[in-house]
Structure 1
Amino acid sequence: MVPVNVLLITTDQHKATTLGAYGDALEATPNLDALAGRGTTFTRARTQNPYCMPARAAILTGTYPSSSGVVRNGIDLPAGAARESLAAAFSTGGFSTSLFGKAHFASYYPDLPTGAVESVPDAALVAHDWFGPYFGFDHVELTSDVHNIRLAPAVGRWNWGFGPPPMGLHYGRHLFRHGRDKGVERLRLMQPEADGREWDPTQTWRNHLPEEEHHTHWIADRAIEWLGEVDRPFFCWVSFPDPHHPFDPPAPWCDRYRPADMLEVLPAAHPEEFARKPPHHQAWTQGFRGTELEWANPGWALFSEHEQLSILAAYWGMIAQIDSSIGRILGALTESGLADDTLVVFTSDHGDFMGEHQMILKGPLHYQALLQVPLIVAGPGVAVGGSVDAPVGTIDLAPTLLSSCGLEVPPHMEGTSLFGEPRSHVLTEDDVAPGVFQLRTLTTERFRITHDLVNPPNSELYDLIEDPGELSNRWSDPALGPDRAELLATLEDLTVAEPRRRLPQVCSAG
């Protein structure tokens, strides 16, 4: 049976092992676990880049970052991608297309004006009745930089993602719908001061905004309304900005887990693991405390155990909140009679260390906690209760969704169908710091090899069967010499094939 509709649901910076379907026992994701039960789970799904903008561009375009040009945060997706995107292909095929929530196809804070609607300075100029088109989507309702809304004390500026208030995109205007004073009050309820605290490196507090005003709830509301009105086959992307830091769930989700509940998921420290690893790995555990980049890596190893457990409790609480909203969306799909004809896909742009290897958030370190993403597919023609252990990538989503609906896959797309011939490997690119790190990672069922093109001696090789925790770097182990040579040859072929179309960087941070 060919699906009539496609619903793609994504989260941001979501560690795969927080789902019950991936082995978690804290019961934060009953709706996603039920989705997995009636569909297929991909156990070795990997992102094509461990940062937001390149990872999202790969999903939308079906191409590697080196092809799209979006090789790191701060590089806008070229305007021409609107004609070549997954959404455009669906639109050309007669589907109604929509996006709700976080797009992040353009930089929020460019150094120079770009005219992109997601740019905070330019968003103020967007007409209040604008709802698209945007990168191939007929209809969009977007959240602007909701992460920095709650990081205002850290970045030391008023904009809070909106301008000055009441400017901004659709969610910002929702908050300011009753005027400036009420909008400012809502913004202040998001800040740690509303919880009787000051900003601190844990980035953990209770968000005092009522749940029904929170962006997670708002995104679900907007998607549900659209799904209730759509009158032809559709491709709908619902994109939640959480559980990206800061970790500030509203009530009741802030109380869902206590720090003591998180002991079973607190990763153990293995300080000996860094003996044969690149030097920046151990340095990453200490973070950037006392610098303007502290918010991007506060240093997991510097937190007390109670602080670590508090972060985990808030993170799992955010995930439980998202799962609840996903349940509302899937329930609405069933009530409308659309569920039997809809292919539903859940994934994330990338993971989060969340204490693994004494690290937090993300960085140029390609551990599975960061590269692995949850990936669940359910709907017409999909095996019920299935599990696929072959490596796959988020780059495979675009060709999978199009071919599943009987549409032609554009020739520029570089992924393969999730339901075609199994992959032997999946590639992840990382050019976050040119001249410092340039990483290419190949993940197979047995190995993870990461080659640093700038500093080859800082490369890594892990046997994921014998060492699933990636504690022992065996790059220099003679016993794996033949395997390393074969993996490097494959990586070299893939790297040489990169078109290397580079666009000017327009922003220092996405």
Structure 2
Amino acid sequence: MAGKPNVVLLVTDTTRRDDASDSAVAPTLAELAEAGTRATRAFSTAPWTLPAHASMLTGSYPSKHGAYTGHERLDESLPTLPALLGDAGYETVCVSNNTWLSSASGFDRGFDEFRQMWQLLQSDTSLGEIVQVTEGSRVDAVARELFEGSPLVNGVNALYQSLVRNRDRNDDGAARSTRWIENWLEGRSGDQPFFLLANYIEPHLEYRPPRRLAEEHLPADVTYDEAMAVPQEPWEYLAGNVTLSDRELRALRGLYRAEIAAVDEQIAAIREALREAGEWEDTVFVVTADHGENVGDHGLMDHQYCLYDTLVHVPLVVHGGAFTGYGDLTELVSLVDLAPTLLDAAGVRADDARATFQGRSFHPATHARSREFVVSEYMAPQPSMAALEHHVGDLPAHVEKHDRSLRAIRTRSHAFVRGSDGSRSLYDLRSDPGETTDVAASNPRTAADLGETLDEWLDSFEHANVDDAVTIDGRRKAQLERLGYLQ
């Protein structure tokens, strides 16, 4: 590559590594991995969108950047990847389909263009989502929100939600996002390199893949109509109010895999758009996920209340520049490593900012030492027990146990998880990759050693001061509830 390369970071929301690594599900991703670099042991810092994206952009763990439950905002205390690339002469653009990745959550910092695809006209007022998710008092809610900010902008966004976004219930913004990116690439002029971050949310509940893809990925004994009739109510399932058979869970897994396949088609379309714009050969192209998903795994649904590999082991493929033809990267990698790695790919030093990073570059030219461990953090239950009880009724004891924070430390051989309630779990990943058997009692020395390592790590940096809670107003609560984040 001559000069500074473009950097494209595609985040396929809620995508677990095992399904995304199946070439029958994600053939484009498999092609990129074959031609580029595939990190086979890549892990998220958190099991949900807000803290995971904050880690990608700041190179720091949730304990340091402070964007998590109770303080749902990325503050300005740490430098961000888009701001650093912007200072180095990059045009910076974000295309988001997840309301956590929004200007209201502080993620627009450093971006020249920040597109919230649930809106036609960009605005901090999120009335368009109110039209979709508010029941019963919808007219009153719309009336209240219409006159916040610009009534004209709000009205246009409400019509856009009703007439355009709601027309195709099998698309959560993927096709519109890709079209916007295609048009943006076609309309660019000049030689300025760019950084593009795009979030595709299709694999997130509720699963509504196109019928053609669903029928391709459903089990042979399940029809499309049967699969779409299976309840997709994670909190009712958790509480035991909804019981799903093995066949129904397999049906949901098929729908989920079809959603990943749908995003894979968008990845192919963006690759083609870069080729048509003459930018592909000058682009470092990254595909990853913010976290995974439980589809009945460990008795759980959605992506909360645990730090199993089903939630934190994520796909990570890089193509372009020094990553082309590199093959499999089998060392431990964390999402905090993306920021320094992509700065290296762009040839940007940013020494002061790098001093704040907890990540280390895995760029092939750095020859950095391998990680001994990665950490994942779940700083508070989301939804809270109170929110769950409000929505599903009295909670059984097996649900109340999730009222805790969790931290996990993972080596190549073991995963150790510690809860704020004093719980400790240890899994031997060599003999039990599915993390089904807790061996902490039979391996006390290993559990103690990993606990000590976790404590040393926690003592090695200054933690974020997030005593000031972030207030989420009614309209954002409605948006988030649509995604299953009960408030």
Relative to the length of structure 2, the TM-score reads 0.78
Q: Which moved more, 1:493-502 or 1:400-409?
A: 493-502
Which residue number corresponds to residue 331 of structure 1? 272
How far off its partner does 1:38 sit?
Answer: 0.7
Residues 188-337 of structure 1 aligned to structure 2 (within 5 Å): 188-189=166-167, 207=169, 215-230=173-188, 231=190, 232-260=192-220, 288-289=235-236, 302-337=243-278
Residues 341-360 of structure 1 aligned to structure 2 (within 5 Å): 341-360=282-301
Out of 98, 102, 108, the position equivalent to 2:97 is 102
Is the 8 Å Cα contact of residues 9 and 237 (structure 1) preserved in structure 2? yes
The one-letter code of the counterpart of 1:91 is G
Which residue number corresponds to residue 108 of structure 2? 134
Is the 8 Å Cα contact of residues 262 and 312 (structure 1) preserved in structure 2? no
How far off its partner does 1:367 sit?
Answer: 0.8
Q: 1:156 to 1:371 in 2, by over 3 A?
A: farther
How far off its partner does 1:455 sit?
Answer: 2.2
Q: 1:326 to 1:140 in 2, by over 3 A?
A: same
SS of equivalent residue, structure 1 residue 28:
coil
Is the 8 Å Cα contact of residues 408 and 416 (structure 2) preserved in structure 1? yes
Say yes or no: does 1:400 pair with 2:341.
Answer: yes
How far off its partner does 1:168 sit?
Answer: 11
How far off its partner does 1:462 sit?
Answer: 0.6
Which residue number corresponds to residue 455 of structure 1? 421
**Stretches of structure 1 lacking an aligned partner (at least 5 in a row):** 108-115, 120-132, 191-206, 264-285
Which residue number corresponds to residue 93 of structure 1? 88
Which residue number corresponds to residue 125 of structure 1? none
Which residue number corresponds to residue 445 of structure 2? 482
SS of equivalent residue, structure 1 residue 344:
strand
**Stretches of structure 2 lacking an aligned partner (at least 5 in a row):** 119-125, 224-232, 385-401, 481-487
Is the 8 Å Cα contact of residues 96 and 199 (structure 2) preserved in structure 1? yes
The one-letter code of the counterpart of 1:451 is R
Q: 1:468 to 1:175 in 2, by over 3 A?
A: farther
Q: 1:150 to 1:317 in 2, by over 3 A?
A: farther
How far off its partner does 1:318 sit?
Answer: 1.5
The one-letter code of the counterpart of 1:494 is W
How far off its partner does 1:322 sit?
Answer: 0.9
Which residue number corresponds to residue 369 of structure 1? 310
The one-letter code of the counterpart of 2:450 is L
Relative to the length of structure 1, the TM-score reads 0.74
The one-letter code of the counterpart of 2:199 is S
Is the 8 Å Cα contact of residues 11 and 200 (structure 2) preserved in structure 1? yes
Q: 1:462 to 1:118 in 2, by over 3 A?
A: closer
How far off its partner does 1:415 sit?
Answer: 0.4
Say yes or no: does 1:437 pair with 2:404.
Answer: yes
Is the 8 Å Cα contact of residues 262 and 313 (structure 1) preserved in structure 2? no
SS of equivalent residue, structure 2 residue 380:
strand
Q: Which moved more, 1:426-435 or 1:227-236?
A: 426-435
Out of 162, 170, 184, the position equivalent to 1:184 is 162
Say yes or no: does 1:421 pair with 2:416.
Answer: no
Q: 1:162 to 1:367 in 2, by over 3 A?
A: farther
* Counterpart Cα distance in 1 of 2:255 and 2:127: 17
Say yes or no: does 1:56 pair with 2:53.
Answer: yes
Which residue number corresponds to residue 491 of structure 1? 454
* Counterpart Cα distance in 1 of 2:439 and 2:105: 43
How far off its partner does 1:105 sit?
Answer: 5.3
Say yes or no: does 1:505 pair with 2:469.
Answer: yes
* Counterpart Cα distance in 2 of 1:304 and 1:135: 45
SS of equivalent residue, structure 2 residue 301:
coil
* Counterpart Cα distance in 2 of 1:301 and 1:47: 29
Q: 1:186 to 1:304 in 2, by over 3 A?
A: farther
The one-letter code of the counterpart of 2:319 is A
Q: 1:149 to 1:324 in 2, by over 3 A?
A: farther
* Counterpart Cα distance in 2 of 1:148 and 1:55: 23
* Counterpart Cα distance in 2 of 1:340 and 1:137: 24
The one-letter code of the counterpart of 1:184 is S
How far off its partner does 1:174 sit?
Answer: 12
Is the 8 Å Cα contact of residues 4 and 193 (structure 2) preserved in structure 1? no
Q: 1:141 to 1:261 in 2, by over 3 A?
A: farther
How far off its partner does 1:103 sit?
Answer: 5.9
* Counterpart Cα distance in 1 of 2:346 and 2:147: 39
Q: 1:105 to 1:499 in 2, by over 3 A?
A: farther
Quote the sequence identity (%): 26
The one-letter code of the counterpart of 1:462 is Y
SS of equivalent residue, structure 1 residue 476:
coil
How far off its partner does 1:356 sit?
Answer: 2.0
Which residue number corresponds to residue 122 of structure 1? none
Q: 1:308 to 1:343 in 2, by over 3 A?
A: same
* Counterpart Cα distance in 1 of 2:148 and 2:181: 20
* Counterpart Cα distance in 2 of 1:162 and 1:384: 53
User: What is the RMSD computed on CA atoms of the aligned residues?
Assistant: 3.6
SS of equivalent residue, structure 1 residue 506:
coil
Q: 1:143 to 1:464 in 2, by over 3 A?
A: same
How far off its partner does 1:481 sit?
Answer: 2.9
Is the 8 Å Cα contact of residues 5 and 345 (structure 2) preserved in structure 1? no
The one-letter code of the counterpart of 1:505 is A
